[in-house]
Amino acid sequence: MKKIICFLLLYFFIVNLNSFEIDKVTEFSFSETYGTEVSNLIVKDNYLYSLNSRSLQIFDIQANSFQLINDFNLEGQTRKISLKGNYAYASKGGPPENRLYRIDISDVMNLSITDTLFYLGSYAHFIDGNNVFVHELLSDWTWKVHVYDNDTFQQITEFMVPQLYGTMHHVIEGIGIVRYYEMAALYDISDPFDIELISESQIGTNYFPFQSTIIQDSVLVYGDHNGIRFYDINEGNDWQLISNIEHSISDFRISNNKLVSIRGLELYLYNIENICEPVMLDSIYFTLFNNQKSITIHENISYIATGLGKLTSYSIAGNFFEEIDTYYSYGRLESAYLYADNLIIPTILNGLNCWDITDFEEPTLSGVYYGNYFPANYSNGEENIMVYTCYDIENMVTLNKVLQIEDNGDITEVDELTSTTSGSALFYKQGTGFFIVSDEIIYKYNLNENNELEEVASISIPGVSWGEFYFLDDIAYIISWEQLSIINNINNNETIELYDQIYISVYGPDAVCFFQNYLFISEQVDISDCLIFDITDPLSPVLMTTLEKSGLIGIDEENELLFMGSSTCNVFDLSTIETGIVPEIYSFLNWNYCQQVIPFKRNNEDFLIYLEGTSCSIYQYDYEPNYIEDEILTIKPYLTNYPNPFNPETKIIFNLPEEGNVKLEIYNIKGQKVKTLMDCYTSPGDYELIWDGRDDNRKQVGSGVYFYQLILDGKILKTRKALLLK
C-alpha cells in the first residue's frame, strides 16, 4: 500500500478540527473619540465626567483647565452618562452586548463598577429624582422601561413606553417626552408607578438626534435637524410655536438665558432672554472633520466634545465665545504601514506617528510628523517608500507626500504632489511608478534624478473622478464608486491603456487582496459582501462567490488564512477556495471599526497588526490546519452529477474505493448543510443517487450554487459543485 497525502481531502468545514489560537501581545497608541451620542459630558463638584469610545474619563477643571485624573476602562463603545449622588451610569451599545454600568464615583481616583445591566437597548437611560429609568428593546421592536432605585439598585417597577415604538427621553425633573410620527407627548414621571400623560401635540417631522427641555415653566425647547423650536405648552394639546432657530442641531444646552447649540462644524451662542426673538451673539466654525458632538454648561462655561477626540472649554459669560482650554489625544487612527520594525500610523489630531515595534510588548513612539495636517483614508507603499495623503485645511488642498523610511524609523520627505480634487490620492508600485486619478484622467509619475515627481504618462478613464489603485504584475485594478477599472501595461508608458470597466457593488472605504488566482474586494462596513473574483485571466475577472461578512482584509498566504476586520475580526480558511466555499474558523471582538489588518512574520512566528479607530494591537497566532494522511488502496473516488446545471433534479454518481461509513451531503454556498442523501455503512463500488432539489425538511431550495461532498469514515474524499437553475 502506498501512503499518500490525499489532496482530494479538502478542508471539512462541518467538523472543524483545525487549531487556531490567537493571543494579544500588546495594545498601544490609544486615542479617544467623543460624541458617540449626545449627553456624554456632565460637570459635578469641579469635575468633568466624559465618555469617550473606550472609557469614562474624569477631568479636574478647578483651574479652568483639563487635568485628566482618571481614565476608567469600560470595554466597548460608550454612549451616554448620567450622575446621581455617588454613582455614575455609563451605557454602551454594540458587540458583544448592550450594557449599563453603575459606577461608584465617591472616590474619583478609585472608581469601581458595582452593577451591570445587559438589556438590549440599555444604552437609552436617564435619571429622574432618585429613580433610574432603563430602556429595554423587545423582540417586537417595542420599548419597556425598567425603573431602579438609585440607592439600592433594585427594580421597583416597569412599564411599556406609551407610544411603544420610541424611547422616552428626560426633559426636566418629573417630566419625560416620547416622540412618535409627527407627534410629541409629555408625561408626568414623578411617580413611576403611575405614568400620566400631561399633553401632546403635533410638532412636525421628527429627526434623530433630538434634545428638549422646559424653561420659564411652560416653554418647551425642542431641537433636532429641523432646528430649535420654542413652544408654549400651556394650551393643553395644542402647543403654540413661539419662535424658531432655523438650523439643524445635534445638541444644545441652556443656562442663564444663553443657549449654546452645535451644528456639525459650527458652534452658536444665542441670547434667549426674549424667546420671541432669539438673538445670535457669536458663532465659531471648526476645521474640517472636527465636528462637534456633545455639549454641557456649568457656571457660564461651555464644554464641547468632538467626534475626533478633542475637548474644548469656552467662557460664555459675555456675548462672545472665549476659549479657555483644549485637551486632545491622537484622535481617530486612520491606517497603518509596516516597514521593518517601524509601524507608521496616521492619526487625525496628532500627525503621522512612527512606532518602533522591535519589542512587541513595549512599542515606543520614535517620531511624529506632519502634525498640522489631517490625514485622508489613504497611506500606501512598498518597502521603504510610503505615500501619505493628507489635507491642508487652510488652503483646502490634498497633499500626497512621498516619504522614505529609514531602518531606524526616521522619515524624510522626497517630494509632494498637490491636488485640488477631493478624494484624489497617490498610489505607489515599486519599480513602476506613482499613479493618481483626477478629473477622469489617470496620471503616472516617476521620480527623476533629482528625486522629483515627473509625469510620464496619462490616459483617460471616463466616469472616474477618484480611485484606489491595487497592483498585480503589469495590471492596475482601480476601485471607485460601484466600478472596477482594469488598466493594462502599466510598466510601459507608451502602451498603458484602459482595458475594461466592470460594475461592482462596492462603495468604500475598500480593501483589495490577491491570493493565488483570486481577487478579493471588500469594504470596511460589515453590512456589505466581500467579493471574490477568479482572475485566472487577470484582465477578465469573473465573480466566483461572496462572503456575507465584509470588512478590511489581510491575507496570510503561507497559512492560507484571510483576516477580515470590521466590528469584529473574522478569520477564514482559504484552502478550499477552489470549491467556492471559504469557511470561517475563528472570530474575536475589537473596540471599534477596523482600519487596517496586516499579517506578518518574525523569527518564523505569525503575527497580526490590527488597527481599529482607537488603538493598535499586535496579536500572535498559531494555526494548525487539518492535513489528513491515510493509507488508501486506490485513490479513485469518482464523483459527478448530471445534468449540471439542473432543474428540477440531478443524478449524483460516485465510486467508493473501500467499505466504510459513507455520507453524501449537500451544502449551500454559506457552508450550511441542506440535505443528507446517504448515511450508512456500505461496500466498495459504484453508486447513483437522485437529488430533487429539496432539503432535509422536504422544502424546495432556491436557485444557486450547491456543493455535494463524499465522506468516508469521517474523511472528505471529494467535493463537487452543482448549479440549480429555475
Structure confidence at residue 5 as a pLDDT band (50, 70, 90)? very low
Asked if 594 and 333 touch (Cβ cutoff 8 Å), the reply is: no
At residue 79, the pLDDT reads 86
The secondary structure element, H or E, covering residue 52 is none
Q: Considering only 54-63, 67-76, 319-328, 621-630, which range has the smallest mean pLDDT?
A: 621-630
Longest pairwise C-alpha distance within the chain: 98
At residue 250, the pLDDT reads 84
Residue 635 has pLDDT above 70, yes or no: no
Q: Which whole number is the average pLDDT over 480-488?
A: 93
At residue 382, the pLDDT reads 94
Q: Which whole number is the average pLDDT over 687-710?
A: 88
d(CA 79, CA 81): 7
Q: With helix as H, strand as E and coil as C, how does 81-97 read?
A: EEEECCEEEEEECCCCC
Q: Considering only 199-208, 605-614, 628-637, 709-718, which range has the smallest mean pLDDT?
A: 628-637
At residue 14, the pLDDT reads 33
- Mean residue pLDDT across the chain: 88
d(CA 609, CA 563): 11
Q: Which whole number is the average pLDDT over 329-334?
A: 83
List C-alpha distances in Å: 42 to 83, 100, 213, 694.
8, 17, 16, 60
d(CA 665, CA 12): 12
Phi, psi angle pair for 542, to nearest 5°: -120, 120
d(CA 89, CA 93): 13
At residue 369, the pLDDT reads 94
At residue 177, the pLDDT reads 96
Q: Which whole number is the average pLDDT over 275-280?
A: 96
pLDDT digits (tens, 9 = 90+) for 515-543: 999 999 998 877 788 999 999 999 999 98
At residue 465, the pLDDT reads 87
Tell me which of 384 and 16 has the higher pLDDT: 384
pLDDT digits (tens, 9 = 90+) for 175-190: 999 998 889 999 999 9
Sequence-distant (6+) residues with CB within 8 A of 359 are: none
Residue 718 has pLDDT above 60, yes or no: yes
At residue 423, the pLDDT reads 67
Asked if 385 and 399 touch (Cβ cutoff 8 Å), the reply is: no
Tell me which of 330 and 380 has the higher pLDDT: 380
Structure confidence at residue 631 as a pLDDT band (50, 70, 90)? very low
Residue 715 has pLDDT above 70, yes or no: yes
Residue 546 has pLDDT above 50, yes or no: yes
pLDDT digits (tens, 9 = 90+) for 415-443: 999 987 766 899 999 999 999 998 899 99
At residue 11, the pLDDT reads 32
Q: Which whole number is the average pLDDT over 42-66?
A: 93
C-alpha cell at 630: 491515510
Q: Which whole number is the average pLDDT over 638-649?
A: 83
Residue 632 has pLDDT above 60, yes or no: no
> The pTM is what?
0.75
CA nearest neighbour of 528 among 554, 546, 543? 546
DSSP conformation letters of 508-574:
SSEEEEEETTEEEEEESSTTS-EEEEE-SSTTS-EEEEEESS--EEEEETTTTEEEEESSEEEEEE-
At residue 2, the pLDDT reads 25
Q: Which whole number is the average pLDDT over 563-581?
A: 87
- List domains and CATH numbers for the chain: 508-625 (2.130.10.10), 636-724 (2.60.40.4070)
pLDDT winner (highest mean) among 131-135, 576-580, 652-656: 131-135
Structure confidence at residue 670 as a pLDDT band (50, 70, 90)? low
Tell me which of 692 and 720 has the higher pLDDT: 692
Tell me which of 633 and 597 has the higher pLDDT: 597
Tell me which of 419 and 488 has the higher pLDDT: 488
Q: Which amino acid is at 259?
A: L
Q: Strands (DSSP E) along 278-410, which ranges?
A: 279-285, 292-298, 301-306, 310-315, 322-328, 337-339, 342-346, 352-356, 364-369, 374-382, 385-392, 397-405
List C-alpha distances in Å: 420 to 175, 351, 463.
52, 21, 18
Structure confidence at residue 164 as a pLDDT band (50, 70, 90)? confident
C-alpha cell at 269: 451662542
- Mapping DSSP to helix (H, G, I), strand (E, B) and coil, where does residue 456 land? strand
Tell me which of 240 and 394 has the higher pLDDT: 240
* C-alpha dihedral, 652 to 656 to 661 to 665, nearest 10°: -20
At residue 422, the pLDDT reads 66
Q: Which amino acid is at 62?
A: Q
At residue 232, the pLDDT reads 96
At residue 647, the pLDDT reads 87
Sequence-distant (6+) residues with CB within 8 A of 401 are: 370, 387, 388, 389, 390, 413, 415, 416
At residue 316, the pLDDT reads 96
Phi, psi angle pair for 31, to nearest 5°: -140, 165
- Mapping DSSP to helix (H, G, I), strand (E, B) and coil, where does residue 579 land? helix
Chain CA centroid to CA 283, Å: 32
At residue 4, the pLDDT reads 26
Compute the chain's Rg from CA coordinates: 30
Residue 1 has pLDDT above 80, yes or no: no
At residue 588, the pLDDT reads 86
Count of CB atoms situated within 10 Å of the CB of 39: 21
Residue 170 has pLDDT above 50, yes or no: yes
